[in-house]
């Protein structure tokens, strides 16, 4: 009876944490090239939508690029502020891998979003994490940013680009965190807890 009570409590907790259609939540901030904070927001990506994978040969010197796209979904949303202006919108994820610097592989994890603001000035927000050399896995979990060093290198490793309705844009250095566990990991945790609770009692 005690095991059943514990099991029901754990399942209730997991159901509260993982919605029927689950998302992965990210938080992000951005600084402009002068180091001034400009961007603050939250991103949700739908982990129930499958990636669409493709490849295309562009010939030399580009070579073959492999792409995986997480299509837009009503659950994939983005919101925040840019220089104090609020915005909301819908996002998609693109992962690109291809040749770079000879035999090295250049990988990008890119969030592309269409957004709107009350004053109509904000149009698109793109978030970039570059991984060079190396292949970016097809995953909702972003890769570790590239390790280029030196002045101004951070904006190459991880960056944002805000596109305005007048055709101009602003870019800066991005910081992105994933505070929530992916659904698959939570399900695996649920299985582990179930096995623990249901194991035979020692005599």
Q: What is the pLDDT of residue 156?
A: 81
Of 76, 86, 83, 89, nearest in space to 115 by CA: 89
CB 121 within 8 A of CB 85: yes
Share of the chain above pLDDT 90, in %: 52
Whole-number pLDDT of residue 37: 97
State yes or no: pLDDT of 163 exceeds 80.
Answer: yes
**Predicted confidence band at 7 (pLDDT cuts at 50, 70, 90)?**
very low
Name the H helices within the chain.
2-17, 154-157, 183-198
Residue 179: its pLDDT value, please? 62
pLDDT computed for residue 93 by the predictor: 97
- What local confidence, expressed as pLDDT, does residue 195 receive? 52
Per-residue pLDDT band at 199 (split at 50, 70, 90): low
Q: What is the mean pLDDT of the chain?
A: 81
What does pTM read for this prediction?
0.76
* Number of CB atoms found within 10 A of residue 23's CB: 22
**Is residue 39 within 8 Å of residue 160, measured between CB atoms?**
yes
> What are the tens digits of pLDDT across the range 83-129?
999 999 999 999 999 887 666 678 899 999 999 999 999 999 999 99
Higher-pLDDT residue of 12, 120: 120
- Which pLDDT score is estimated for 90? 97
Query: How does pLDDT run across 14-55, given as a tens digit for each residue?
Result: 444 444 458 899 999 999 988 999 999 999 999 999 999 999
Q: How far is CA 176 from the centre of its chain?
A: 8
Rounded Cα gap, residues 161 and 125, in angstroms: 6
- The residues spanned by each domain of the chain are 2-198
Q: Is the pLDDT of residue 166 over 90?
A: yes
Burial-class residue 104 by CB neighbours within 10 Å (0-12, 13-18, 19+).
exposed
Residues near 75 by beta carbon (within 8 Å), at least 6 away in sequence: 21, 23, 44, 45, 46, 48, 49
């Amino acid at each position: 009876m005690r095991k059943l009570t514990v099991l029901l409590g754990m399942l209730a907790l997991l159901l509260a944490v993982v919605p029927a259609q689950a998302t992965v939540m990210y938080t992000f901030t951005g600084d402009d090239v002068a180091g001034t904070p400009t961007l603050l927001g939250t991103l949700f990506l739908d982990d129930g939508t499958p990636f669409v994978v493709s490849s295309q040969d562009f010939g030399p010197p580009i070579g073959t690029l492999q792409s995986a796209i997480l299509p837009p979904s009503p659950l994939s949303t983005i919101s925040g502020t840019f220089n104090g202006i609020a915005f909301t919108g819908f996002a998609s994820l693109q992962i690109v891998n291809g040749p770079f610097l000879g035999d090295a592989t250049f990988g990008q994890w890119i969030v592309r979003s269409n957004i709107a603001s009350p004053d109509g000035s904000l149009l698109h927000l793109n978030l970039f994490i570059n991984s060079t050399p190396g292949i970016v896995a097809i995953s909702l979990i972003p890769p570790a940013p590239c390790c280029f060093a030196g002045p101004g290198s951070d904006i190459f490793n991880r960056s944002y680009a805000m596109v305005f309705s007048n055709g101009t844009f602003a870019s800066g250095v991005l910081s992105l965190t994933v505070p929530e566990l992916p659904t698959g990991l939570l399900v695996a945790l649920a299985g582990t807890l179930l096995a623990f609770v249901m194991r035979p009692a020692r005599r």
